Structure 1
Amino acid sequence: MLVIMDCPKFFLPAYSYNQGVPSLLKKLVIQECGINGKQLSDLLLQLPFLYFLTIGSCPKIASLAVGDLITGNFSSSTSYNHYWTIDGLLHIPLDLLNRLEYLCIQDFPDLVLLCNEGFLGFISLKTLHITGCPHFFSIWTEKESSDSWSLLPPSIQDLMVTHMDNRLLSFILSNLTSLSTLAISRSPGLTSIILHSCTSLETFIIEKCARLSALDSMGSLCSIKHMRIFECPSLAIPCGPSSPDGQNKDLYFLLHLEKLEIDNASFFSTAICKSLPSLQHVVFFMAKNVRSFTEEQDKVICHLTSLHILDFCYCSDLISLPKELHRLSSVKKLSIKACPGILSLPEMGLPASLQELYVSNCSTELKEQCRKIKNVRCVYVLYQKKRCVYV
């Protein structure tokens, strides 16, 4: 493995790289360096065993080509001459398409993809992360609509993307039947997500999508085990009317959910909490303008009958924990981290099942109260850099 980071003057001289770079190299990471597209293209030709590639923040790389370059199928109104410069073009060699399993491209403000078939040629690719590249798929937004389009190979299992809109995301997700992890973030133009083809999805992360309001076709997904929703203020989980047997088909995708990370107390509703029979871990973190839980939210939290771990993290406005916390009879671990507004534990106390309590970066009043607890097996109270453990 070779890692080259934060070397703005770094470049590769024009000579045969097989004399200076180990040909057995399997992993390559190049970030914040002065290497240009042509230099990196030549280097990749000399690495027959490479299967892991990460590139990021290299300003002399302006465009990326995979296999065949684009022809005349895109709008003629847009000029890409700037990206066709020999030195700025990074060309992924054809033989690498058959071997590459991990590809991460991050933090290129102007990088564009120049090819006809997207990443379909990467027949072995399992992990693809394209983040901080707002114009990467820009030429695809000019193509005419077609239901048969797809940008990624069905081999993708782990996908992380930013700067998506509805149309582009539909192209990307169209045939990813093997996808198990999906992370979408920093996409202010995204208003809905359709996941009907992602039948193997287990981890679903959505962050910083301010206009996202709908998750469509979720009812057919029953494999999701971990979900994180952060800074998506317009998003509401679909809750249609229940069937005669009391089940809500819109919420079937929650049936096997084991871990939920949220920053919005509105997710604690009766319909949602009753649809989480497998939920074991809840992280309530960085909630803005949430001072306390409503009376209804206090009551419905008790429906989380399989909950083992409950975390409250970095909630600067939160002044109280759920009043009905003591009724969560399956909780074994409770963490309260960086919640300075909480001055005391709930009046009715903590669950009798609790085995471990962790408190850090909170008020002195809360720490002192937790330190005196006797009926919990382990209490961890962090005072600045010193940890006091009471058993």
Structure 2
Amino acid sequence: MVVVEEEDNQSEEEEIVTEQFVDEEDDDGLLLFPAHLSHSLRELFIVDCPELILALVTEHEEETGRHGLQALRSLESLEIRWCSKFLSAYKSSSSFGFPPFLEDLDMYDEDGIFEMHSRTELFIKGGDSTCEALWPLLTQDQLSSLKVKKSNFFCRLGGLQEEQLLLLKRSFKPWKLDTDDMSGFLVKPICSLLSSSLTRLQFGGNDEVEHFTEEQEEALQLLTSLQDLQFYTCKKLQCLPMGLHRLTNFKKLKIKDCPSIRIRSLPLLSSLEQLKVKDCKKLQRHLTQLHTLTNLKKLKICDCSSIRSLPLPSSLEQLKVKDCKKLRYLFAELHTLTNLKTLEIVNCPSIRSLPKGGLPSSLEELDVSDCGNKKLKQRCSKLMGTIPNIIL
């Protein structure tokens, strides 16, 4: 079944059976779109057509945009369900092209769920995700963000032949990746493939991994462009991978809802410019080493209920402290942080006063609107006129 919505003033979708679309059909189930839909079709929904194949585009047709999906120049949304052969003609081709205004592509079948948004973001979820089925999507130069959940995608990707890997390396260059498959991703063939493009890596939703193996840590070292590393909801993860300080572009670290994690090597991460920590119970004791991060500019600490004080580096420009119920003192020498511009205190009821030495003259914004303590608000109100922006 094929459901379409055209660009005119139709109020309802018009359902057209497959035979009405067919200009030519052979034994392999090849379907060609008729020309009259090229400037009117906005939405296309194809379901349960197991023999349907999108025809290969010749070089001339690719240049003119008069064939296949490229011919549907008004198409904005494409959803394909249970059509396992739809992209099978493109298993090793990089010539696949999207219609110029296509924003959303959703594909569902027994191999999993694949969603692409704005031709730049690809989400792979579940199933036995074969790289052949995804080849036309992976080889798009515009792909910038990849999210892989509950899938063996990386295992399949690492098993590609050398010729395919070389082709993929030229076109597959996402700068952002989010996955729960740490062990599948952290292998040398995969990390080598993304060494020059990947700048943000997010590991999340994994309740199994406790430590990184030596081989995985070596693979991570291949990500020479990595700037931003994030861990979230990794319940059993006990430590960060070793050698992060050797990644010369590494600047941002975010850890959220990882109750078992520790950072004994925090002083080694001297290149860090941004650090965000939320709800990490065992990490709190290591925050006493924050002053060793001599390049740190932005610090955000949330839901660290047992932390009592924060020794801060002089390089700090922005500080946000939230939901730290036992935190009583920010930093006795806060006035010496001559680069600090923004200070925000949210729901920290034990902080009743500012440090005796006062605040740095560089401060441009002080936000205590949700601090959770009336006395602190009263004392900050007396600073009106000395700080450009005070939010009470």
Shorter-normalised TM range: 0.5 to 0.7
User: 1:261 corresponds to which residue?
Assistant: 276
Q: Which runs of no fewer than 5 residues in structure 1 stay unpaired? A: 3-8, 70-81, 93-99, 241-247, 383-391
Q: Determine whether 1:208 maps to 2:247.
A: no
Paired residue for 1:284, among 297, 301, 306? 301
Aligned-partner Cα distance in 1 for 2:83–2:348: 46
User: 1:370 corresponds to which residue?
Assistant: 380
Residue pair 2:154, 2:184 contacting (<8 A) in 1 also: no
User: 1:95 corresponds to which residue?
Assistant: none
Aligned-partner Cα distance in 2 for 1:168–1:150: 18
| 119 and 174 in structure 1: CA distance in 2 versus 1, 3 angstrom threshold | farther
| 381 and 102 in structure 1: CA distance in 2 versus 1, 3 angstrom threshold | same
Deviation at 1:111, TM superposition (A): 4.2
Return the letter of the residue paired with 1:153: K
Return the letter of the residue paired with 1:218: L
| 41 and 62 in structure 1: CA distance in 2 versus 1, 3 angstrom threshold | closer
Deviation per CA, 1:160-216: give whole Å up to 9, x if none: 222213244325424312212222221223332632111111222221222232313
Trace 1:140-151 onto structure 2 (pairs within 5 A). Answer: 140=156
| 138 and 333 in structure 1: CA distance in 2 versus 1, 3 angstrom threshold | closer
User: 1:134 corresponds to which residue?
Assistant: 150
Aligned-partner Cα distance in 1 for 2:167–2:207: 21
Return the letter of the residue paired with 2:206: S
Identical pairs, percent: 19
Q: Determine whether 1:103 maps to 2:121.
A: yes
What SS does structure 1 have at the residue aligned with 2:299? strand
Q: Determine whether 1:115 maps to 2:134.
A: no
What SS does structure 2 have at the residue aligned with 1:367? helix
Aligned-partner Cα distance in 2 for 1:214–1:129: 22
| 367 and 20 in structure 1: CA distance in 2 versus 1, 3 angstrom threshold | farther
User: 1:198 corresponds to which residue?
Assistant: 223
- The structure number with the bigger radius of gyration is 2
What SS does structure 2 have at the residue aligned with 1:156? coil
Deviation at 1:268, TM superposition (A): 2.4
| 10 and 377 in structure 1: CA distance in 2 versus 1, 3 angstrom threshold | farther
Deviation at 1:134, TM superposition (A): 1.1
Q: Determine whether 1:224 maps to 2:250.
A: yes
Deviation at 1:123, TM superposition (A): 6.1
Residue pair 1:260, 1:283 contacting (<8 A) in 2 also: yes
Aligned-partner Cα distance in 2 for 1:161–1:151: 23
Residue pair 1:311, 1:334 contacting (<8 A) in 2 also: yes
Paired residue for 1:153, among 158, 165, 169? 169
| 268 and 41 in structure 1: CA distance in 2 versus 1, 3 angstrom threshold | farther
Return the letter of the residue paired with 1:46: L
Residue pair 1:112, 1:136 contacting (<8 A) in 2 also: yes
Paired residue for 2:202, among 183, 188, 191? 183
Deviation per CA, 1:85-128: give whole Å up to 9, x if none: xxx99899xxxxxxx9623216x4x4441235975961625413
User: 1:5 corresponds to which residue?
Assistant: none
| 165 and 222 in structure 1: CA distance in 2 versus 1, 3 angstrom threshold | closer
What SS does structure 1 have at the residue aligned with 2:229? strand
Paired residue for 2:70, among 36, 43, 47? 47
Deviation at 1:284, TM superposition (A): 1.3
Deviation at 1:221, TM superposition (A): 0.6
User: 1:312 corresponds to which residue?
Assistant: 321
Trace 1:1-12 onto structure 2 (pairs within 5 A). Answer: none
RMSD of aligned Cα (Å)? 4.8
Give the count of matched residue pairs. 316
Deviation at 1:139, TM superposition (A): 6.5
| 306 and 222 in structure 1: CA distance in 2 versus 1, 3 angstrom threshold | same
Aligned-partner Cα distance in 1 for 2:166–2:326: 44
Deviation at 1:373, TM superposition (A): 2.0
Residue pair 1:11, 1:36 contacting (<8 A) in 2 also: no
Aligned-partner Cα distance in 2 for 1:112–1:236: 34
User: 1:83 corresponds to which residue?
Assistant: 110
| 321 and 20 in structure 1: CA distance in 2 versus 1, 3 angstrom threshold | farther
User: 2:58 corresponds to which residue?
Assistant: none
Q: Determine whether 1:68 maps to 2:91.
A: yes
User: 1:162 corresponds to which residue?
Assistant: 179
Deviation at 1:158, TM superposition (A): 1.6
Aligned-partner Cα distance in 2 for 1:134–1:281: 33
Aligned-partner Cα distance in 1 for 2:205–2:77: 20
What SS does structure 2 have at the residue aligned with 1:173? helix
| 123 and 89 in structure 1: CA distance in 2 versus 1, 3 angstrom threshold | closer
Deviation at 1:378, TM superposition (A): 2.6
Return the letter of the residue paired with 2:236: R
| 159 and 60 in structure 1: CA distance in 2 versus 1, 3 angstrom threshold | same
What SS does structure 2 have at the residue aligned with 1:377? coil
Return the letter of the residue paired with 1:175: L
User: 2:26 corresponds to which residue?
Assistant: none
| 112 and 273 in structure 1: CA distance in 2 versus 1, 3 angstrom threshold | farther
Deviation per CA, 1:6-27: give whole Å up to 9, x if none: xxx98985433764465999xx
Q: Which runs of no fewer than 5 residues in structure 2 stay unpaired? A: 6-11, 22-32, 56-66, 93-108
User: 2:352 corresponds to which residue?
Assistant: 344
